[in-house]
Amino acid sequence: MSRAQLETKVEDYLRNSQALDDYWQRPITTEQLQAEMDRMARDTKQPDVLRELFSALGNDPFVIAECLARPLLAERLTADFRVKTVQIPLGLHGDRGARHVGGNKLKRCGVHSSRDSRRHSSMH
């Protein structure tokens, strides 16, 4: 994955995470992040790969939560909320310059979920 693709993925999930807070008044909580990490560990079909990812992130629970759990959780929750609402917040689709969110997290998160990016591109 190129650096530009990685940056786009991070910007998308940070934007989704921020929209949960700003638009739907439902910020992602530490409890939700922990539950997502627990779900990942419990349900993984490739435990060796997950251990490698955790190791690459220094086995730091905060970094793992921000780099692996938050992207998955933000995507799933925003998809759920979009289904429940008619209007989509400005800046969520395609308007990458609309808002800059969490630039420091981009530097910390060098490893991200390999989720299919086609879901995002089909929404733009």
Tokens in use for 15? 């934007």
Report how far apart, in Å, the C-alpha atoms of 112 and of each of 26, 53, 63 are.
23, 9, 11
pTM listed for this prediction: 0.62
Q: Which of 1-5, 75-79, 91-95, 109-113 has the lowest mean pLDDT?
A: 109-113
- As to burial, measured by CB atoms within 10 angstroms (0-12 exposed, 13-18 middle, 19+ buried), residue 10 is buried
pLDDT at 44: 95
100 or 16, higher pLDDT: 16
